[in-house]
Amino acid sequence: MTFTESIKICFSKYVDFNGRASRSEYWWFMLFLVLGTVAAGVVSNKLSGLFTLATLLPSIAVAARRLHDTDRSGWWQLLGFIPVLGWIIEIYFLIQEPKEPNRFGSAPASQALPET
């Protein structure tokens, strides 16, 4: 998956918490969020906050789908509220290989790009 495909998929599934997301889809989208936040912050702090607010739901949704790909519930994201140790565990979960078979659906590599 490419950088632009990841962004398109994540925004087309704006609040879709079902299914699975590949590692590349998740990490490309996270790179987009970091770059977008930094670029908006250079222009204005208010713009950076607005960008973060606008991308909050898609980032939570793609993280839930990524956790589904490792056969975990999206609720594991709540570990992020535990400083340091929670973040380390959450990142460990997000970088793991996909689990097959999986209760959350077919592997993301077999999913085509949504029609526009």
Tell me the whole-structure pTM to 2 decimals: 0.85
| pLDDT at residue 116, rounded to an integer | 47
At residue 11 the predicted structure's pLDDT band, cuts being 50, 70 and 90, is very high
| pLDDT at residue 67, rounded to an integer | 94
Taking every pair of Cα atoms in the chain, the longest distance, rounded to a whole number of angstroms, is 46
Tell me how far apart the alpha carbons of residues 106 and 32 are, in angstroms, rounded to a whole number. 26
| pLDDT at residue 109, rounded to an integer | 63
Burial class from Cβ neighbours inside 10 Å (0-12, 13-18, 19+) for residue 88 reads: exposed
Q: Are 29 and 59 in contact (CB under 8 A)?
A: yes
